[in-house]
Amino acid sequence: MSEEANPTPEAPAKPGRLARFGWRNVAYLGFVVLLIPFGIALEASGPGGPDRGGGVAAAVMLWAIVSVLFFLVNAVLAIVAFAKGKPFDHALLACALPFGLVLLVMLSSVFIPY
Q: Please write the tens of the pLDDT for every residue from 43-83.
A: 887 777 777 778 888 889 999 999 999 999 999 999 999 99
Q: What is the pTM of this model?
A: 0.74
Those residues with Cβ within 8 angstroms of residue 18's Cβ, 6 or more apart along the chain or in another chain = 26
Top pLDDT among 21 and 73 is at 73
Average pLDDT across the chain, whole number: 83
pLDDT at 8 over 80: no
- Between the CA of residue 53 and those of 61, 74, 82, what are the distances in Å? 12, 31, 43
pLDDT, position 56: 84
